Structure 1
Amino acid sequence: MTLTQEHLERIAHGIPEIGRDPSSVRQRVEAMEALLERGFTMPVLNRQFGLDFILGLVPVIGDIIAAAMGTWLVWEARNLGMSRWKIARMFANIGVDLAVGAVPFVGDAVDFVFRSNTRNLRIIKKHLDRHHPETTVIEGTVIR
Protein backbone atom coordinates (compact mmCIF):
# COMPACT_ATOMS: atom_id res chain seq x y z
CA MET A 1 0.00 0.00 0.00
CA THR A 2 1.36 3.40 -0.93
CA LEU A 3 0.58 6.58 0.89
CA THR A 4 -0.92 9.28 -1.26
CA GLN A 5 -0.49 12.98 -0.67
CA GLU A 6 -4.07 13.05 0.65
CA HIS A 7 -3.25 10.41 3.28
CA LEU A 8 -0.15 12.31 4.38
CA GLU A 9 -2.08 15.58 4.64
CA ARG A 10 -4.79 13.89 6.73
CA ILE A 11 -2.13 12.46 9.07
CA ALA A 12 -0.32 15.81 9.30
CA HIS A 13 -3.59 17.61 10.04
CA GLY A 14 -4.19 15.34 13.05
CA ILE A 15 -0.78 16.05 14.60
CA PRO A 16 -0.73 19.13 16.86
CA GLU A 17 1.51 21.96 15.73
CA ILE A 18 5.01 21.96 17.20
CA GLY A 19 4.96 25.68 17.97
CA ARG A 20 5.93 27.08 21.34
CA ASP A 21 2.94 29.41 21.57
CA PRO A 22 0.40 28.67 24.35
CA SER A 23 -2.26 27.53 21.88
CA SER A 24 0.03 24.87 20.42
CA VAL A 25 1.09 23.77 23.91
CA ARG A 26 -2.57 23.43 24.89
CA GLN A 27 -3.25 21.19 21.88
CA ARG A 28 -0.23 19.00 22.64
CA VAL A 29 -0.94 18.53 26.34
CA GLU A 30 -4.60 17.75 25.64
CA ALA A 31 -3.57 15.16 23.04
CA MET A 32 -1.04 13.55 25.41
CA GLU A 33 -3.56 13.45 28.27
CA ALA A 34 -6.12 11.83 25.97
CA LEU A 35 -3.58 9.19 24.92
CA LEU A 36 -2.49 8.46 28.49
CA GLU A 37 -5.90 8.52 30.18
CA ARG A 38 -8.75 8.20 27.65
CA GLY A 39 -7.44 6.48 24.54
CA PHE A 40 -9.57 3.33 24.80
CA THR A 41 -12.96 2.26 26.14
CA MET A 42 -13.52 -0.91 28.15
CA PRO A 43 -16.53 -2.55 26.42
CA VAL A 44 -18.36 -4.10 29.37
CA LEU A 45 -17.90 -1.23 31.84
CA ASN A 46 -18.02 1.51 29.18
CA ARG A 47 -15.13 3.13 31.09
CA GLN A 48 -12.32 4.96 29.34
CA PHE A 49 -8.69 4.12 30.04
CA GLY A 50 -5.42 4.91 28.40
CA LEU A 51 -1.82 4.00 27.87
CA ASP A 52 -1.05 4.83 31.52
CA PHE A 53 -3.31 1.98 32.68
CA ILE A 54 -2.01 -0.44 30.03
CA LEU A 55 1.64 0.28 30.85
CA GLY A 56 0.81 -0.07 34.55
CA LEU A 57 -0.03 -3.73 33.95
CA VAL A 58 3.68 -4.38 33.30
CA PRO A 59 5.32 -4.56 36.74
CA VAL A 60 7.61 -1.68 37.71
CA ILE A 61 9.01 -0.80 34.27
CA GLY A 62 5.56 -0.03 32.87
CA ASP A 63 4.85 2.37 35.72
CA ILE A 64 8.20 4.06 35.20
CA ILE A 65 7.54 4.52 31.48
CA ALA A 66 4.05 5.89 32.16
CA ALA A 67 5.48 8.31 34.74
CA ALA A 68 8.13 9.46 32.25
CA MET A 69 5.43 10.14 29.67
CA GLY A 70 3.41 12.06 32.28
CA THR A 71 6.50 14.08 33.17
CA TRP A 72 6.41 15.48 29.65
CA LEU A 73 3.25 17.40 30.66
CA VAL A 74 5.20 18.93 33.55
CA TRP A 75 8.00 19.91 31.16
CA GLU A 76 5.48 21.67 28.91
CA ALA A 77 4.02 23.41 31.98
CA ARG A 78 7.48 24.61 33.00
CA ASN A 79 7.99 26.04 29.51
CA LEU A 80 4.74 27.99 29.95
CA GLY A 81 6.28 29.67 32.98
CA MET A 82 3.99 28.11 35.57
CA SER A 83 4.82 28.65 39.23
CA ARG A 84 7.02 26.26 41.19
CA TRP A 85 4.04 25.42 43.42
CA LYS A 86 1.99 24.22 40.44
CA ILE A 87 4.94 22.28 39.06
CA ALA A 88 5.44 20.64 42.48
CA ARG A 89 1.74 19.68 42.60
CA MET A 90 2.05 18.11 39.16
CA PHE A 91 5.13 16.13 40.20
CA ALA A 92 3.26 15.04 43.34
CA ASN A 93 0.40 13.70 41.20
CA ILE A 94 2.86 11.71 39.12
CA GLY A 95 4.68 10.51 42.24
CA VAL A 96 1.46 9.22 43.83
CA ASP A 97 0.53 7.48 40.59
CA LEU A 98 3.99 5.90 40.37
CA ALA A 99 4.16 4.83 44.02
CA VAL A 100 0.68 3.34 44.18
CA GLY A 101 0.97 1.87 40.68
CA ALA A 102 4.02 -0.12 41.75
CA VAL A 103 1.88 -2.18 44.16
CA PRO A 104 0.72 -5.33 42.33
CA PHE A 105 -3.03 -5.58 41.59
CA VAL A 106 -3.99 -2.73 43.95
CA GLY A 107 -1.93 -0.31 41.90
CA ASP A 108 -3.63 -1.37 38.69
CA ALA A 109 -7.06 -0.77 40.21
CA VAL A 110 -6.01 2.64 41.54
CA ASP A 111 -4.48 3.52 38.15
CA PHE A 112 -7.91 2.91 36.66
CA VAL A 113 -9.43 5.56 38.96
CA PHE A 114 -6.62 8.01 39.91
CA ARG A 115 -5.75 9.89 36.75
CA SER A 116 -2.67 11.95 37.45
CA ASN A 117 -2.38 13.22 33.89
CA THR A 118 -5.97 14.46 33.89
CA ARG A 119 -5.30 16.27 37.17
CA ASN A 120 -2.15 17.80 35.68
CA LEU A 121 -4.01 18.84 32.53
CA ARG A 122 -6.58 20.58 34.74
CA ILE A 123 -3.77 22.55 36.43
CA ILE A 124 -2.32 23.54 33.04
CA LYS A 125 -5.72 24.55 31.66
CA LYS A 126 -6.41 26.80 34.67
CA HIS A 127 -3.07 28.49 34.09
CA LEU A 128 -3.72 28.92 30.38
CA ASP A 129 -7.26 30.20 30.93
CA ARG A 130 -5.99 32.81 33.39
CA HIS A 131 -2.77 33.91 31.65
CA HIS A 132 -3.51 33.10 27.99
CA PRO A 133 -7.30 33.39 27.51
CA GLU A 134 -6.85 33.46 23.73
CA THR A 135 -6.16 29.70 23.85
CA THR A 136 -9.65 28.89 25.15
CA VAL A 137 -11.28 26.08 23.20
CA ILE A 138 -15.03 25.88 22.66
CA GLU A 139 -16.33 22.70 20.98
CA GLY A 140 -13.06 21.88 19.27
CA THR A 141 -12.40 25.36 17.87
CA VAL A 142 -9.66 27.60 19.13
CA ILE A 143 -10.82 31.15 19.82
CA ARG A 144 -8.27 33.72 18.70
Structure 2
Amino acid sequence: MVEPTSRARPIGVELPIGTDAVSVRKRIEAMEQLLERSFVLPGTNYAIGLDSIVGLIPVVGDFITAAMGAYIVWEARNLGLPKWKLWRMAGNIAFDTALGAVPLVGDAFDLAFRSNSRNLKIVRKHLDKHHPHTRVIEG
Protein backbone atom coordinates (compact mmCIF):
# COMPACT_ATOMS: atom_id res chain seq x y z
CA MET A 1 0.00 0.00 0.00
CA VAL A 2 1.27 3.48 -0.88
CA GLU A 3 1.51 5.97 1.92
CA PRO A 4 -0.58 9.09 1.31
CA THR A 5 2.36 11.38 2.12
CA SER A 6 4.74 9.84 -0.43
CA ARG A 7 5.19 11.44 -3.83
CA ALA A 8 5.82 9.62 -7.07
CA ARG A 9 9.09 10.40 -8.79
CA PRO A 10 8.94 11.45 -12.43
CA ILE A 11 10.11 8.80 -14.86
CA GLY A 12 12.69 9.74 -17.47
CA VAL A 13 15.07 12.61 -17.87
CA GLU A 14 14.42 16.21 -17.03
CA LEU A 15 15.51 18.39 -19.91
CA PRO A 16 16.58 21.97 -19.33
CA ILE A 17 14.46 24.72 -20.84
CA GLY A 18 17.09 27.45 -21.23
CA THR A 19 18.67 28.77 -24.40
CA ASP A 20 22.22 28.58 -23.05
CA ALA A 21 24.69 26.25 -24.76
CA VAL A 22 24.65 23.68 -21.92
CA SER A 23 20.85 23.33 -22.04
CA VAL A 24 20.78 23.08 -25.83
CA ARG A 25 23.53 20.46 -25.78
CA LYS A 26 21.57 18.31 -23.31
CA ARG A 27 18.40 18.53 -25.43
CA ILE A 28 20.25 17.63 -28.62
CA GLU A 29 21.96 14.68 -26.92
CA ALA A 30 18.62 13.46 -25.55
CA MET A 31 16.96 13.67 -28.98
CA GLU A 32 19.87 11.83 -30.61
CA GLN A 33 19.67 9.08 -28.01
CA LEU A 34 15.91 8.74 -28.52
CA LEU A 35 16.25 8.56 -32.30
CA GLU A 36 19.37 6.41 -32.61
CA ARG A 37 20.05 4.31 -29.51
CA SER A 38 17.19 4.11 -27.06
CA PHE A 39 16.62 0.33 -27.32
CA VAL A 40 18.80 -2.75 -27.70
CA LEU A 41 17.82 -5.46 -30.17
CA PRO A 42 17.02 -8.62 -28.19
CA GLY A 43 19.75 -11.22 -28.43
CA THR A 44 22.30 -8.70 -29.67
CA ASN A 45 24.21 -5.80 -28.26
CA TYR A 46 23.11 -3.48 -31.10
CA ALA A 47 21.32 -0.30 -30.09
CA ILE A 48 18.50 1.09 -32.22
CA GLY A 49 16.16 4.02 -31.78
CA LEU A 50 12.91 5.46 -32.99
CA ASP A 51 14.48 6.31 -36.35
CA SER A 52 14.80 2.61 -37.16
CA ILE A 53 11.51 1.56 -35.56
CA VAL A 54 9.22 4.31 -36.90
CA GLY A 55 11.04 4.06 -40.23
CA LEU A 56 9.39 0.65 -40.70
CA ILE A 57 6.13 2.50 -41.45
CA PRO A 58 6.30 3.03 -45.23
CA VAL A 59 7.08 6.62 -46.30
CA VAL A 60 5.24 8.33 -43.42
CA GLY A 61 7.62 6.94 -40.80
CA ASP A 62 10.65 8.33 -42.58
CA PHE A 63 9.12 11.79 -42.76
CA ILE A 64 8.20 11.69 -39.08
CA THR A 65 11.77 10.84 -38.08
CA ALA A 66 13.09 13.45 -40.54
CA ALA A 67 11.02 16.08 -38.73
CA MET A 68 12.40 14.90 -35.41
CA GLY A 69 15.92 15.06 -36.82
CA ALA A 70 15.24 18.55 -38.14
CA TYR A 71 14.73 19.60 -34.51
CA ILE A 72 18.43 18.94 -33.93
CA VAL A 73 19.30 21.18 -36.88
CA TRP A 74 16.97 23.88 -35.54
CA GLU A 75 18.66 23.73 -32.12
CA ALA A 76 22.07 23.88 -33.84
CA ARG A 77 20.92 27.00 -35.70
CA ASN A 78 20.01 28.58 -32.38
CA LEU A 79 23.54 27.84 -31.16
CA GLY A 80 24.93 29.85 -34.05
CA LEU A 81 26.51 27.08 -36.11
CA PRO A 82 27.73 28.30 -39.50
CA LYS A 83 25.35 27.83 -42.42
CA TRP A 84 27.63 25.30 -44.13
CA LYS A 85 27.44 23.05 -41.05
CA LEU A 86 23.66 23.42 -40.94
CA TRP A 87 23.45 22.48 -44.63
CA ARG A 88 25.66 19.45 -43.98
CA MET A 89 23.37 18.40 -41.12
CA ALA A 90 20.28 18.90 -43.30
CA GLY A 91 21.98 16.85 -46.02
CA ASN A 92 22.52 13.99 -43.56
CA ILE A 93 18.81 14.00 -42.74
CA ALA A 94 17.76 14.28 -46.40
CA PHE A 95 20.05 11.39 -47.38
CA ASP A 96 18.72 9.25 -44.50
CA THR A 97 15.11 10.08 -45.41
CA ALA A 98 15.53 9.45 -49.14
CA LEU A 99 17.22 6.09 -48.78
CA GLY A 100 15.11 5.12 -45.78
CA ALA A 101 11.95 5.53 -47.88
CA VAL A 102 13.01 2.67 -50.19
CA PRO A 103 11.12 -0.48 -49.15
CA LEU A 104 13.16 -3.16 -47.33
CA VAL A 105 16.56 -1.81 -48.39
CA GLY A 106 15.77 1.46 -46.64
CA ASP A 107 14.90 -0.32 -43.41
CA ALA A 108 18.28 -2.05 -43.40
CA PHE A 109 19.94 1.26 -44.30
CA ASP A 110 18.29 2.94 -41.29
CA LEU A 111 20.07 0.49 -39.01
CA ALA A 112 23.49 1.39 -40.41
CA PHE A 113 23.34 5.10 -41.30
CA ARG A 114 22.75 7.22 -38.21
CA SER A 115 22.21 10.75 -39.45
CA ASN A 116 21.33 12.09 -36.02
CA SER A 117 24.53 10.69 -34.49
CA ARG A 118 26.50 12.33 -37.30
CA ASN A 119 24.71 15.61 -36.64
CA LEU A 120 25.37 15.36 -32.90
CA LYS A 121 29.07 14.91 -33.69
CA ILE A 122 29.02 18.14 -35.73
CA VAL A 123 27.31 20.01 -32.89
CA ARG A 124 29.65 18.62 -30.23
CA LYS A 125 32.72 19.60 -32.25
CA HIS A 126 31.36 23.14 -32.60
CA LEU A 127 30.46 23.39 -28.92
CA ASP A 128 33.80 22.00 -27.75
CA LYS A 129 35.57 24.69 -29.77
CA HIS A 130 33.28 27.69 -29.17
CA HIS A 131 31.68 26.81 -25.81
CA PRO A 132 34.24 24.62 -23.99
CA HIS A 133 32.36 24.96 -20.69
CA THR A 134 29.64 22.66 -22.11
CA ARG A 135 32.00 19.66 -22.34
CA VAL A 136 30.94 16.61 -20.40
CA ILE A 137 33.51 14.04 -19.42
CA GLU A 138 32.08 10.68 -20.30
CA GLY A 139 33.32 7.67 -18.39
TM category (shorter chain) comes to over 0.9
Q: Alpha-carbon deviation of 1:6? A: 4.0
Aligned residue number for residue 30 of structure 1: 29
For the residues of structure 2 that align with 1:56 and 1:78, how far apart are their CA atoms?
25
Structure 2 residue runs without a partner (length 5+): none
TM-score normalized with structure 1 length? 0.89
For the residues of structure 1 that align with 2:112 and 2:126, how far apart are their CA atoms?
24
For the residues of structure 2 that align with 1:52 and 1:5, how far apart are their CA atoms?
37
Q: Alpha-carbon deviation of 1:4? A: 7.5
Aligned residue number for residue 53 of structure 1: 52
Q: Alpha-carbon deviation of 1:73? A: 0.1
Q: What letter corresponds to residue 87 of structure 2 in structure 1? A: A
For the residues of structure 1 that align with 2:61 and 2:5, how far apart are their CA atoms?
36
Aligned residue number for residue 7 of structure 1: 8
- Structure 2 CA distance for partners of 1:20 and 1:44, relative to 1, 3 Å: same
For the residues of structure 1 that align with 2:5 and 2:127, how far apart are their CA atoms?
37
User: Which structure is higher in strand share?
Assistant: 1
For the residues of structure 1 that align with 2:78 and 2:123, how far apart are their CA atoms?
11
For the residues of structure 1 that align with 2:5 and 2:14, how far apart are their CA atoms?
17
TM-score normalized with structure 2 length? 0.92
Could you say what the CA RMSD is over the residues aligned between the two structures, in angstroms? Answer: 2.0
Aligned residue number for residue 76 of structure 1: 75
For the residues of structure 2 that align with 1:113 and 1:45, how far apart are their CA atoms?
15
Q: Alpha-carbon deviation of 1:11? A: 4.1
Query: 1:1-144 to 2 correspondence within 5 Å?
Result: 6-8=7-9, 10-11=10-11, 14-139=13-138
User: Which structure is higher in helix share?
Assistant: 1
- Structure 2 CA distance for partners of 1:60 and 1:135, relative to 1, 3 Å: same
Question: How many residue pairs get matched?
Answer: 138
Structure 1 runs of 4+ aligned residues shifted over 3 Å read 3-6
Quote the sequence identity (%).
58
